[in-house]
Amino acid sequence: MATPDAGFPGTEGAESAPWAQLEAPARLLLQALQAGPEGARRGLGVLRTLSSRSGKPFDWGRLLEALCQEEPVVQGPDGRLELKPLLLRLPWICQRNLMSLLMAVQPSLPQSGLLSVLQIAQQDLAPDPDAWLRALGELLQRDLGVGTSIEGPSPLSKKCQTQLRGLCRGLGQGGRRLKSSQAPDPEEEKNRDFEQPGKRRKESEEEPASPEGNRAPKRLRCWEEEEDHEEERPEHKSLESLADGGGASPIKDQPVMGAKTGKDGSSLEDAKGLAESLELPKAIQDQLPRLQQLLKTLEERLEGLEDVPPVELQLLHECSPSQIDLLCAQLQLPQLSDLGLLQLCTWLLALSPHLSLSNATVLTRSLFLGRILSLTSSASRLLKTALTSFCAKYTYPVCRALLDPVLQAPGTGPAQTELLCCLVKAESLEPDAQVLMLGQILELPWKEETFLVLQSLLERQVEMTPEKFSVLMEKLCKRGLAATTSMAYAKLMLTVMTKYQANITETQRLGLAVALEPNTTFLRKSLQAALKHLGP
Protein backbone atom coordinates (compact mmCIF):
# COMPACT_ATOMS: atom_id res chain seq x y z
CA MET A 1 0.00 0.00 0.00
CA ALA A 2 0.97 3.57 -0.31
CA THR A 3 2.74 5.20 2.57
CA PRO A 4 1.64 8.84 2.74
CA ASP A 5 3.69 11.24 4.77
CA ALA A 6 1.03 11.88 7.36
CA GLY A 7 1.58 9.01 9.71
CA PHE A 8 0.28 10.08 13.11
CA PRO A 9 -2.78 11.76 14.56
CA GLY A 10 -2.81 15.49 14.46
CA THR A 11 -0.71 15.80 11.33
CA GLU A 12 -3.81 16.45 9.27
CA GLY A 13 -6.77 18.61 10.08
CA ALA A 14 -10.21 17.10 10.06
CA GLU A 15 -11.04 19.08 6.94
CA SER A 16 -8.15 17.64 4.90
CA ALA A 17 -8.23 14.07 6.21
CA PRO A 18 -8.89 11.48 3.47
CA TRP A 19 -11.96 10.27 5.35
CA ALA A 20 -13.47 13.76 5.82
CA GLN A 21 -16.41 13.01 3.46
CA LEU A 22 -17.42 9.73 5.14
CA GLU A 23 -20.29 9.31 7.56
CA ALA A 24 -19.67 10.10 11.23
CA PRO A 25 -19.22 6.48 12.50
CA ALA A 26 -16.67 5.70 9.79
CA ARG A 27 -14.81 8.96 10.43
CA LEU A 28 -14.57 8.21 14.15
CA LEU A 29 -13.30 4.71 13.47
CA LEU A 30 -10.57 5.82 11.04
CA GLN A 31 -9.56 8.63 13.38
CA ALA A 32 -9.13 6.07 16.18
CA LEU A 33 -6.98 3.91 13.88
CA GLN A 34 -4.53 6.82 13.66
CA ALA A 35 -3.51 6.36 17.30
CA GLY A 36 -0.13 4.70 16.71
CA PRO A 37 0.40 1.09 17.85
CA GLU A 38 -2.78 1.24 19.96
CA GLY A 39 -4.93 2.19 16.97
CA ALA A 40 -6.49 -1.21 16.31
CA ARG A 41 -7.39 -1.64 19.96
CA ARG A 42 -8.92 1.82 20.11
CA GLY A 43 -10.82 1.07 16.93
CA LEU A 44 -12.40 -1.91 18.68
CA GLY A 45 -13.37 0.42 21.51
CA VAL A 46 -15.11 2.72 19.05
CA LEU A 47 -16.96 -0.22 17.47
CA ARG A 48 -18.13 -1.40 20.86
CA THR A 49 -19.41 2.02 21.86
CA LEU A 50 -21.13 2.63 18.53
CA SER A 51 -22.84 -0.75 18.78
CA SER A 52 -24.02 -0.21 22.37
CA ARG A 53 -25.39 3.26 21.60
CA SER A 54 -27.21 2.47 18.38
CA GLY A 55 -28.21 -1.11 19.18
CA LYS A 56 -27.07 -2.15 15.69
CA PRO A 57 -23.79 -3.62 14.41
CA PHE A 58 -21.37 -1.35 12.59
CA ASP A 59 -22.10 -1.09 8.85
CA TRP A 60 -18.91 -2.62 7.49
CA GLY A 61 -20.36 -2.96 3.99
CA ARG A 62 -20.49 0.81 3.47
CA LEU A 63 -17.02 1.41 4.85
CA LEU A 64 -15.41 -1.32 2.75
CA GLU A 65 -17.18 0.04 -0.33
CA ALA A 66 -15.97 3.57 0.47
CA LEU A 67 -12.39 2.32 0.86
CA CYS A 68 -12.54 1.02 -2.73
CA GLN A 69 -13.91 4.22 -4.28
CA GLU A 70 -11.43 6.12 -6.44
CA GLU A 71 -10.92 9.87 -6.43
CA PRO A 72 -8.49 12.07 -8.40
CA VAL A 73 -5.38 13.07 -6.46
CA VAL A 74 -2.29 15.07 -7.40
CA GLN A 75 0.80 12.87 -7.77
CA GLY A 76 4.47 13.49 -8.48
CA PRO A 77 6.48 16.67 -9.01
CA ASP A 78 4.69 17.33 -12.29
CA GLY A 79 1.35 17.59 -10.48
CA ARG A 80 -0.43 14.98 -12.61
CA LEU A 81 -3.88 13.74 -11.61
CA GLU A 82 -4.36 10.04 -10.84
CA LEU A 83 -7.35 8.04 -9.65
CA LYS A 84 -6.61 6.48 -6.29
CA PRO A 85 -8.85 4.46 -3.90
CA LEU A 86 -9.41 5.86 -0.42
CA LEU A 87 -7.62 2.81 1.02
CA LEU A 88 -4.33 3.81 -0.62
CA ARG A 89 -4.73 7.45 0.43
CA LEU A 90 -4.84 6.62 4.14
CA PRO A 91 -1.69 7.27 6.24
CA TRP A 92 0.45 4.15 6.64
CA ILE A 93 -0.23 3.83 10.38
CA CYS A 94 -3.96 3.94 9.67
CA GLN A 95 -3.59 1.29 6.97
CA ARG A 96 -1.68 -1.01 9.30
CA ASN A 97 -4.20 -0.67 12.11
CA LEU A 98 -7.10 -1.06 9.69
CA MET A 99 -5.68 -4.39 8.45
CA SER A 100 -5.17 -5.55 12.05
CA LEU A 101 -8.74 -4.58 12.89
CA LEU A 102 -10.11 -6.39 9.83
CA MET A 103 -8.28 -9.54 10.94
CA ALA A 104 -9.84 -9.24 14.40
CA VAL A 105 -13.41 -8.82 13.15
CA GLN A 106 -13.13 -10.88 9.94
CA PRO A 107 -16.03 -13.27 10.79
CA SER A 108 -18.45 -10.31 10.88
CA LEU A 109 -17.34 -8.76 7.57
CA PRO A 110 -19.07 -9.13 4.19
CA GLN A 111 -16.67 -11.35 2.28
CA SER A 112 -17.19 -9.67 -1.08
CA GLY A 113 -16.28 -6.24 0.32
CA LEU A 114 -13.24 -7.63 2.13
CA LEU A 115 -12.01 -9.32 -1.06
CA SER A 116 -12.31 -6.04 -2.95
CA VAL A 117 -10.22 -4.26 -0.31
CA LEU A 118 -7.55 -6.97 -0.42
CA GLN A 119 -7.40 -6.79 -4.21
CA ILE A 120 -6.80 -3.03 -4.04
CA ALA A 121 -4.11 -3.57 -1.43
CA GLN A 122 -2.31 -5.95 -3.79
CA GLN A 123 -2.45 -3.40 -6.61
CA ASP A 124 -0.41 -0.81 -4.69
CA LEU A 125 2.42 0.36 -6.94
CA ALA A 126 4.44 2.18 -4.28
CA PRO A 127 8.21 1.84 -4.88
CA ASP A 128 8.79 0.68 -1.28
CA PRO A 129 5.63 -1.21 -0.19
CA ASP A 130 5.23 -1.73 3.54
CA ALA A 131 6.24 -5.31 4.45
CA TRP A 132 3.95 -5.33 7.49
CA LEU A 133 0.93 -4.40 5.39
CA ARG A 134 1.83 -7.06 2.84
CA ALA A 135 2.04 -9.72 5.56
CA LEU A 136 -1.30 -8.69 7.08
CA GLY A 137 -2.93 -8.81 3.66
CA GLU A 138 -1.61 -12.31 2.98
CA LEU A 139 -2.78 -13.54 6.38
CA LEU A 140 -6.26 -12.18 5.71
CA GLN A 141 -6.32 -13.93 2.35
CA ARG A 142 -5.32 -17.19 4.01
CA ASP A 143 -8.15 -16.76 6.51
CA LEU A 144 -10.56 -16.39 3.60
CA GLY A 145 -8.98 -19.25 1.68
CA VAL A 146 -8.72 -17.21 -1.52
CA GLY A 147 -5.60 -16.60 -3.59
CA THR A 148 -3.10 -18.11 -1.16
CA SER A 149 -2.56 -21.55 0.29
CA ILE A 150 -1.97 -22.29 3.95
CA GLU A 151 0.89 -24.47 2.72
CA GLY A 152 2.56 -21.54 0.93
CA PRO A 153 5.61 -19.64 2.14
CA SER A 154 5.33 -17.62 5.31
CA PRO A 155 4.38 -13.96 4.81
CA LEU A 156 7.01 -13.05 7.42
CA SER A 157 10.38 -11.80 6.23
CA LYS A 158 13.47 -13.94 6.89
CA LYS A 159 14.71 -11.44 9.46
CA CYS A 160 11.39 -11.56 11.27
CA GLN A 161 11.37 -15.36 11.20
CA THR A 162 14.87 -15.43 12.69
CA GLN A 163 13.88 -13.05 15.47
CA LEU A 164 10.72 -15.04 16.14
CA ARG A 165 12.65 -18.30 16.45
CA GLY A 166 15.04 -16.63 18.89
CA LEU A 167 12.11 -15.36 20.94
CA CYS A 168 10.54 -18.81 21.03
CA ARG A 169 13.81 -20.33 22.21
CA GLY A 170 13.96 -17.73 24.97
CA LEU A 171 10.39 -18.42 26.02
CA GLY A 172 11.11 -22.12 26.26
CA GLN A 173 14.10 -21.79 28.59
CA GLY A 174 14.21 -21.44 32.38
CA GLY A 175 16.73 -19.58 34.49
CA ARG A 176 16.51 -15.79 34.33
CA ARG A 177 14.29 -15.90 31.26
CA LEU A 178 10.58 -16.70 31.18
CA LYS A 179 9.75 -20.14 32.39
CA SER A 180 8.70 -22.94 30.03
CA SER A 181 5.50 -22.25 28.12
CA GLN A 182 4.07 -25.60 29.16
CA ALA A 183 0.30 -25.45 29.54
CA PRO A 184 -0.75 -25.19 33.23
CA ASP A 185 -2.79 -27.91 34.83
CA PRO A 186 -6.42 -26.72 35.17
CA GLU A 187 -6.89 -28.21 38.63
CA GLU A 188 -3.65 -26.60 39.82
CA GLU A 189 -4.77 -23.22 38.48
CA LYS A 190 -8.15 -23.64 40.13
CA ASN A 191 -6.60 -24.39 43.50
CA ARG A 192 -4.19 -21.48 43.16
CA ASP A 193 -7.13 -19.08 42.87
CA PHE A 194 -8.13 -19.93 46.45
CA GLU A 195 -4.70 -19.35 47.99
CA GLN A 196 -4.27 -16.67 50.67
CA PRO A 197 -2.78 -13.34 49.53
CA GLY A 198 0.05 -13.71 51.98
CA LYS A 199 1.09 -17.01 50.47
CA ARG A 200 1.11 -15.45 47.01
CA ARG A 201 3.39 -12.67 48.18
CA LYS A 202 5.77 -15.24 49.63
CA GLU A 203 5.89 -17.15 46.36
CA SER A 204 6.54 -13.97 44.41
CA GLU A 205 9.53 -13.20 46.62
CA GLU A 206 11.02 -16.60 45.78
CA GLU A 207 10.88 -15.92 42.02
CA PRO A 208 13.97 -14.64 40.14
CA ALA A 209 14.69 -11.02 40.93
CA SER A 210 15.23 -9.90 37.34
CA PRO A 211 12.49 -7.83 35.71
CA GLU A 212 12.18 -10.42 32.97
CA GLY A 213 11.84 -13.15 35.52
CA ASN A 214 8.97 -11.83 37.61
CA ARG A 215 6.93 -9.49 35.49
CA ALA A 216 5.49 -11.94 32.97
CA PRO A 217 4.32 -14.60 35.50
CA LYS A 218 2.66 -11.85 37.54
CA ARG A 219 0.86 -10.55 34.46
CA LEU A 220 -0.34 -14.07 33.68
CA ARG A 221 -1.67 -14.55 37.21
CA CYS A 222 -3.40 -11.20 37.32
CA TRP A 223 -4.81 -11.16 33.79
CA GLU A 224 -8.33 -12.16 34.81
CA GLU A 225 -8.37 -9.60 37.63
CA GLU A 226 -7.38 -6.84 35.19
CA GLU A 227 -10.11 -7.91 32.77
CA ASP A 228 -12.70 -7.82 35.56
CA HIS A 229 -11.64 -4.29 36.49
CA GLU A 230 -12.01 -3.25 32.85
CA GLU A 231 -15.55 -4.61 32.75
CA GLU A 232 -16.50 -2.81 35.98
CA ARG A 233 -15.35 0.62 34.76
CA PRO A 234 -18.27 2.97 33.97
CA GLU A 235 -18.58 3.82 30.30
CA HIS A 236 -18.81 7.59 30.55
CA LYS A 237 -16.33 8.61 27.88
CA SER A 238 -17.53 10.13 24.64
CA LEU A 239 -16.97 8.72 21.18
CA GLU A 240 -14.58 11.55 20.49
CA SER A 241 -12.40 10.58 23.46
CA LEU A 242 -12.38 6.99 22.26
CA ALA A 243 -11.27 8.06 18.82
CA ASP A 244 -8.53 10.18 20.34
CA GLY A 245 -7.26 7.28 22.40
CA GLY A 246 -9.24 7.20 25.63
CA GLY A 247 -11.26 4.33 26.94
CA ALA A 248 -9.76 1.58 24.82
CA SER A 249 -11.17 -1.68 26.03
CA PRO A 250 -9.67 -5.16 25.80
CA ILE A 251 -10.07 -7.02 22.56
CA LYS A 252 -11.87 -9.91 24.22
CA ASP A 253 -14.74 -7.67 25.30
CA GLN A 254 -15.69 -6.53 21.82
CA PRO A 255 -19.06 -7.83 20.60
CA VAL A 256 -17.94 -7.59 16.98
CA MET A 257 -15.71 -10.57 17.59
CA GLY A 258 -18.67 -12.77 18.38
CA ALA A 259 -16.90 -13.95 21.52
CA LYS A 260 -18.42 -14.55 24.93
CA THR A 261 -17.69 -11.93 27.53
CA GLY A 262 -18.20 -13.88 30.71
CA LYS A 263 -16.24 -12.75 33.76
CA ASP A 264 -15.16 -16.18 34.92
CA GLY A 265 -12.52 -17.99 32.95
CA SER A 266 -12.82 -16.04 29.72
CA SER A 267 -9.08 -15.77 29.25
CA LEU A 268 -8.64 -19.46 29.99
CA GLU A 269 -11.27 -20.27 27.36
CA ASP A 270 -9.50 -18.06 24.81
CA ALA A 271 -6.16 -19.72 25.57
CA LYS A 272 -7.72 -23.15 25.30
CA GLY A 273 -9.32 -22.28 21.97
CA LEU A 274 -6.02 -21.00 20.60
CA ALA A 275 -4.20 -24.15 21.67
CA GLU A 276 -6.87 -26.37 20.11
CA SER A 277 -6.66 -24.48 16.82
CA LEU A 278 -2.94 -25.17 16.51
CA GLU A 279 -3.08 -28.97 16.71
CA LEU A 280 -5.39 -31.83 15.88
CA PRO A 281 -7.09 -33.90 18.59
CA LYS A 282 -5.10 -36.99 19.48
CA ALA A 283 -7.87 -39.23 18.16
CA ILE A 284 -7.51 -37.62 14.74
CA GLN A 285 -3.72 -37.72 14.85
CA ASP A 286 -3.85 -41.45 15.58
CA GLN A 287 -6.13 -41.98 12.57
CA LEU A 288 -4.14 -39.85 10.11
CA PRO A 289 -2.28 -42.83 8.56
CA ARG A 290 -5.59 -44.66 8.09
CA LEU A 291 -7.23 -41.59 6.49
CA GLN A 292 -4.25 -41.14 4.18
CA GLN A 293 -4.54 -44.78 3.13
CA LEU A 294 -8.25 -44.33 2.43
CA LEU A 295 -7.54 -41.37 0.16
CA LYS A 296 -4.84 -43.33 -1.62
CA THR A 297 -7.38 -46.08 -2.24
CA LEU A 298 -9.75 -43.51 -3.76
CA GLU A 299 -7.06 -42.49 -6.21
CA GLU A 300 -6.26 -46.06 -7.24
CA ARG A 301 -9.66 -47.75 -7.50
CA LEU A 302 -13.35 -47.30 -6.74
CA GLU A 303 -14.51 -50.85 -7.35
CA GLY A 304 -15.63 -52.54 -4.17
CA LEU A 305 -15.88 -49.33 -2.15
CA GLU A 306 -19.06 -49.03 -0.11
CA ASP A 307 -21.23 -45.92 0.07
CA VAL A 308 -21.26 -46.20 3.86
CA PRO A 309 -18.65 -43.73 5.16
CA PRO A 310 -15.61 -45.22 6.93
CA VAL A 311 -15.84 -44.94 10.70
CA GLU A 312 -12.71 -42.75 10.72
CA LEU A 313 -14.65 -39.90 9.09
CA GLN A 314 -16.93 -39.70 12.14
CA LEU A 315 -14.00 -38.07 13.90
CA LEU A 316 -14.65 -34.93 11.83
CA HIS A 317 -17.43 -34.12 14.29
CA GLU A 318 -14.82 -33.72 17.03
CA CYS A 319 -12.84 -31.03 15.19
CA SER A 320 -13.23 -27.28 15.23
CA PRO A 321 -13.23 -25.41 11.87
CA SER A 322 -9.57 -24.44 12.27
CA GLN A 323 -8.68 -28.06 13.00
CA ILE A 324 -10.64 -29.18 9.93
CA ASP A 325 -8.61 -26.69 7.91
CA LEU A 326 -5.38 -28.15 9.28
CA LEU A 327 -6.57 -31.70 8.62
CA CYS A 328 -7.45 -30.87 5.00
CA ALA A 329 -3.95 -29.48 4.50
CA GLN A 330 -2.26 -32.54 6.01
CA LEU A 331 -4.39 -34.89 3.90
CA GLN A 332 -3.79 -32.74 0.79
CA LEU A 333 -7.48 -32.82 -0.10
CA PRO A 334 -7.15 -30.09 -2.78
CA GLN A 335 -4.91 -32.49 -4.74
CA LEU A 336 -7.54 -35.25 -4.96
CA SER A 337 -8.53 -36.32 -8.46
CA ASP A 338 -12.10 -35.59 -9.54
CA LEU A 339 -12.88 -39.30 -9.23
CA GLY A 340 -11.59 -39.42 -5.66
CA LEU A 341 -13.41 -36.18 -4.88
CA LEU A 342 -16.75 -37.65 -5.95
CA GLN A 343 -16.36 -40.72 -3.73
CA LEU A 344 -15.20 -38.64 -0.76
CA CYS A 345 -18.23 -36.35 -1.16
CA THR A 346 -20.46 -39.43 -1.25
CA TRP A 347 -19.04 -40.47 2.12
CA LEU A 348 -19.29 -36.97 3.60
CA LEU A 349 -22.93 -36.66 2.54
CA ALA A 350 -23.74 -39.98 4.18
CA LEU A 351 -22.30 -38.96 7.56
CA SER A 352 -24.75 -38.98 10.45
CA PRO A 353 -25.21 -36.60 12.16
CA HIS A 354 -24.67 -33.96 9.49
CA LEU A 355 -21.55 -31.82 9.52
CA SER A 356 -21.85 -28.46 11.23
CA LEU A 357 -22.22 -25.51 8.87
CA SER A 358 -18.83 -24.08 9.86
CA ASN A 359 -17.03 -27.39 9.30
CA ALA A 360 -18.88 -27.94 6.01
CA THR A 361 -17.81 -24.45 4.90
CA VAL A 362 -14.15 -25.26 5.53
CA LEU A 363 -14.45 -28.58 3.71
CA THR A 364 -16.18 -26.91 0.76
CA ARG A 365 -13.40 -24.36 0.47
CA SER A 366 -10.69 -27.02 0.67
CA LEU A 367 -12.30 -29.50 -1.72
CA PHE A 368 -13.66 -27.15 -4.39
CA LEU A 369 -12.45 -23.54 -4.33
CA GLY A 370 -8.88 -23.93 -5.61
CA ARG A 371 -10.00 -26.62 -8.04
CA ILE A 372 -12.64 -24.34 -9.55
CA LEU A 373 -10.48 -21.20 -9.69
CA SER A 374 -7.76 -23.14 -11.55
CA LEU A 375 -10.10 -24.40 -14.29
CA THR A 376 -9.02 -23.48 -17.82
CA SER A 377 -11.68 -25.54 -19.62
CA SER A 378 -15.09 -26.95 -18.84
CA ALA A 379 -15.35 -28.84 -15.56
CA SER A 380 -15.50 -32.62 -15.73
CA ARG A 381 -18.76 -34.46 -15.22
CA LEU A 382 -17.34 -35.91 -12.00
CA LEU A 383 -16.60 -32.46 -10.59
CA LYS A 384 -20.06 -31.17 -11.55
CA THR A 385 -21.73 -34.17 -9.90
CA ALA A 386 -19.69 -33.84 -6.71
CA LEU A 387 -20.36 -30.11 -6.43
CA THR A 388 -24.10 -30.22 -7.13
CA SER A 389 -24.67 -33.12 -4.72
CA PHE A 390 -22.69 -31.40 -1.98
CA CYS A 391 -24.54 -28.13 -2.61
CA ALA A 392 -27.94 -29.81 -2.40
CA LYS A 393 -27.24 -30.76 1.22
CA TYR A 394 -24.93 -27.93 2.32
CA THR A 395 -26.23 -24.95 0.34
CA TYR A 396 -25.17 -22.25 2.77
CA PRO A 397 -21.55 -23.49 3.05
CA VAL A 398 -21.32 -23.62 -0.75
CA CYS A 399 -22.69 -20.08 -1.05
CA ARG A 400 -20.30 -18.84 1.60
CA ALA A 401 -17.16 -20.65 0.45
CA LEU A 402 -17.68 -20.80 -3.33
CA LEU A 403 -20.38 -18.62 -4.83
CA ASP A 404 -19.16 -15.33 -3.38
CA PRO A 405 -15.39 -15.89 -3.80
CA VAL A 406 -15.60 -17.30 -7.34
CA LEU A 407 -17.86 -14.52 -8.61
CA GLN A 408 -15.61 -11.90 -7.04
CA ALA A 409 -12.26 -13.42 -8.01
CA PRO A 410 -10.38 -11.38 -10.64
CA GLY A 411 -9.54 -14.50 -12.66
CA THR A 412 -13.09 -15.78 -13.08
CA GLY A 413 -13.61 -16.82 -16.71
CA PRO A 414 -15.89 -18.91 -18.93
CA ALA A 415 -15.00 -22.22 -17.24
CA GLN A 416 -15.87 -20.96 -13.76
CA THR A 417 -19.03 -19.21 -14.97
CA GLU A 418 -20.23 -22.32 -16.82
CA LEU A 419 -19.80 -24.44 -13.69
CA LEU A 420 -21.70 -21.96 -11.50
CA CYS A 421 -24.51 -21.80 -14.06
CA CYS A 422 -24.69 -25.60 -14.00
CA LEU A 423 -24.78 -25.49 -10.20
CA VAL A 424 -27.65 -23.01 -9.85
CA LYS A 425 -29.71 -24.85 -12.52
CA ALA A 426 -29.30 -28.25 -10.84
CA GLU A 427 -32.61 -30.10 -10.43
CA SER A 428 -31.47 -31.36 -7.05
CA LEU A 429 -31.65 -27.88 -5.52
CA GLU A 430 -34.70 -27.30 -3.35
CA PRO A 431 -36.65 -24.00 -3.65
CA ASP A 432 -35.20 -22.83 -0.32
CA ALA A 433 -31.69 -23.38 -1.65
CA GLN A 434 -32.50 -21.33 -4.75
CA VAL A 435 -33.76 -18.46 -2.60
CA LEU A 436 -30.61 -18.62 -0.49
CA MET A 437 -28.40 -18.47 -3.59
CA LEU A 438 -30.38 -15.54 -4.96
CA GLY A 439 -29.96 -13.67 -1.68
CA GLN A 440 -26.21 -14.21 -1.80
CA ILE A 441 -25.95 -12.94 -5.39
CA LEU A 442 -28.04 -9.86 -4.62
CA GLU A 443 -25.52 -8.85 -1.95
CA LEU A 444 -22.57 -8.95 -4.37
CA PRO A 445 -21.28 -6.26 -6.71
CA TRP A 446 -22.43 -7.31 -10.19
CA LYS A 447 -20.31 -7.87 -13.27
CA GLU A 448 -20.67 -9.76 -16.55
CA GLU A 449 -20.25 -13.23 -15.01
CA THR A 450 -22.86 -12.38 -12.37
CA PHE A 451 -25.45 -11.64 -15.08
CA LEU A 452 -24.95 -15.09 -16.59
CA VAL A 453 -25.20 -16.96 -13.29
CA LEU A 454 -28.20 -14.92 -12.17
CA GLN A 455 -30.02 -15.56 -15.45
CA SER A 456 -29.46 -19.31 -15.09
CA LEU A 457 -30.88 -19.17 -11.58
CA LEU A 458 -33.91 -17.04 -12.46
CA GLU A 459 -34.83 -19.36 -15.32
CA ARG A 460 -35.88 -21.78 -12.57
CA GLN A 461 -38.59 -19.26 -11.58
CA VAL A 462 -37.37 -18.75 -8.04
CA GLU A 463 -40.13 -18.07 -5.54
CA MET A 464 -39.17 -14.84 -3.81
CA THR A 465 -40.85 -12.33 -1.52
CA PRO A 466 -41.95 -8.94 -2.89
CA GLU A 467 -39.16 -7.33 -0.87
CA LYS A 468 -36.47 -9.51 -2.44
CA PHE A 469 -37.94 -9.04 -5.90
CA SER A 470 -37.88 -5.28 -5.33
CA VAL A 471 -34.15 -5.46 -4.50
CA LEU A 472 -33.56 -7.49 -7.68
CA MET A 473 -35.42 -4.96 -9.84
CA GLU A 474 -33.62 -2.01 -8.27
CA LYS A 475 -30.19 -3.50 -8.96
CA LEU A 476 -31.19 -4.46 -12.51
CA CYS A 477 -32.38 -0.96 -13.34
CA LYS A 478 -29.29 0.66 -11.85
CA ARG A 479 -27.03 -1.43 -14.10
CA GLY A 480 -28.81 -0.43 -17.31
CA LEU A 481 -26.67 2.59 -18.19
CA ALA A 482 -23.42 0.70 -17.53
CA ALA A 483 -24.42 -2.44 -19.48
CA THR A 484 -25.78 -1.00 -22.73
CA THR A 485 -23.69 -3.39 -24.86
CA SER A 486 -23.83 -6.45 -22.60
CA MET A 487 -25.58 -9.45 -24.10
CA ALA A 488 -25.57 -11.18 -20.71
CA TYR A 489 -27.44 -8.24 -19.17
CA ALA A 490 -29.92 -8.14 -22.07
CA LYS A 491 -30.68 -11.87 -21.70
CA LEU A 492 -31.10 -11.44 -17.95
CA MET A 493 -33.58 -8.59 -18.44
CA LEU A 494 -35.51 -10.62 -21.01
CA THR A 495 -35.72 -13.55 -18.59
CA VAL A 496 -37.04 -11.33 -15.80
CA MET A 497 -39.68 -9.63 -18.00
CA THR A 498 -40.98 -12.92 -19.42
CA LYS A 499 -40.85 -15.28 -16.44
CA TYR A 500 -41.68 -12.77 -13.69
CA GLN A 501 -44.19 -10.62 -15.58
CA ALA A 502 -46.83 -11.01 -12.87
CA ASN A 503 -44.48 -9.72 -10.18
CA ILE A 504 -43.51 -6.45 -11.88
CA THR A 505 -45.28 -3.32 -10.59
CA GLU A 506 -46.00 -0.18 -12.58
CA THR A 507 -43.16 1.67 -10.86
CA GLN A 508 -40.75 -1.12 -11.68
CA ARG A 509 -41.97 -1.16 -15.31
CA LEU A 510 -41.10 2.51 -15.63
CA GLY A 511 -37.67 1.81 -14.17
CA LEU A 512 -37.14 -0.96 -16.73
CA ALA A 513 -38.11 1.40 -19.54
CA VAL A 514 -35.44 3.89 -18.46
CA ALA A 515 -32.81 1.14 -18.07
CA LEU A 516 -33.52 -0.37 -21.51
CA GLU A 517 -33.68 2.87 -23.45
CA PRO A 518 -29.89 3.08 -24.13
CA ASN A 519 -29.52 -0.66 -24.85
CA THR A 520 -27.67 -1.27 -28.15
CA THR A 521 -27.62 -5.09 -28.36
CA PHE A 522 -29.44 -7.00 -31.11
CA LEU A 523 -31.97 -8.04 -28.45
CA ARG A 524 -33.18 -4.44 -28.15
CA LYS A 525 -36.37 -5.07 -30.17
CA SER A 526 -37.17 -8.19 -28.16
CA LEU A 527 -36.66 -6.24 -24.94
CA GLN A 528 -38.95 -3.43 -26.11
CA ALA A 529 -41.61 -5.95 -27.12
CA ALA A 530 -41.41 -7.68 -23.73
CA LEU A 531 -41.69 -4.27 -22.07
CA LYS A 532 -44.90 -3.48 -23.98
CA HIS A 533 -46.49 -6.68 -22.65
CA LEU A 534 -45.97 -5.27 -19.16
CA GLY A 535 -48.14 -2.26 -19.94
CA PRO A 536 -51.23 -1.52 -17.84
Residue type at position 70: E
Instruction: For the chain, give the number of residues.
Output: 536
Checking if the pLDDT of 499 tops 70, the result is yes
pLDDT in tens, 389-417: 999 999 999 998 999 899 988 888 999 99
Average pLDDT, the chain: 75
Specify the higher pLDDT residue, 324 or 284: 324
Give me the torsion for CA of 380, 345, 410, 126, rounded to 10°.
-130
Q: Is 186 exposed, middle or buried (0-12, 13-18, 19+ CB in 10 A)?
A: exposed
Q: Among 236-240, 295-299, 329-333, where is mean pLDDT lowest? A: 236-240
Helix, strand or coil, per DSSP, at residue 21: coil
Q: Is 221 a residue whose pLDDT tops 60? A: no
Instruction: Domain 301-442: give its CATH architecture.
Output: Alpha Horseshoe (1.25)
- Identify how many contiguous H helices and E strands the chain contains and give both numbers: 28, 2
Between residues 241 and 440, the one the model is more confident about = 440
Is the model's pLDDT at 74 over the cut of 70?
yes
Mean pLDDT for 107-114 is 82
Coil vs helix vs strand at 462 = coil
∠16-19-23 over CA atoms, to 5°? Answer: 125
Distance CA 523, CA 483 (A): 13
**Furthest CA-CA distance within the chain:** 91
In the predicted model, what is the mean pLDDT of residues 61-78?
81
User: What does the pLDDT look like over 302-325, one tens digit per residue?
Assistant: 555 666 788 888 888 888 888 888
Give me the phi and psi of 71, to 5 degrees please: -140, 150
- Amino acid letter at 508? Q
Report whether 92 contacts 101 (CB < 8 A). Answer: no
Residue 81 DSSP class: E
385, HSE (Cβ side, Cα atoms, 13 Å): 12
Spatial contact of 491 and 455, defined as CB atoms under 8 Å apart: yes
* Nearest-angstrom CA–CA distance, 96 and 92: 6
At residue 75, φ and ψ (nearest 5 deg) are -130, 145
Domain ranges of the chain: 24-123+132-137, 301-442, 464-535
Q: Taking the alpha carbons of 127, 133, 135, 137 in that order, is the dihedral positive or negative?
A: negative
Global model pTM greater than 0.75: no
What share of the chain in percent tops pLDDT 70?
69
- Average confidence (pLDDT) over 496-507: 92
Report residue 203's pLDDT band, with 50, 70 and 90 as the boundaries: very low
Question: What does the alpha-carbon distance between residue 388 and residue 428 come to, in Å, rounded to a whole number?
Answer: 7
Distances (CA, A) of 80 to 73, 74, 77, 106, 198: 8, 6, 8, 37, 71
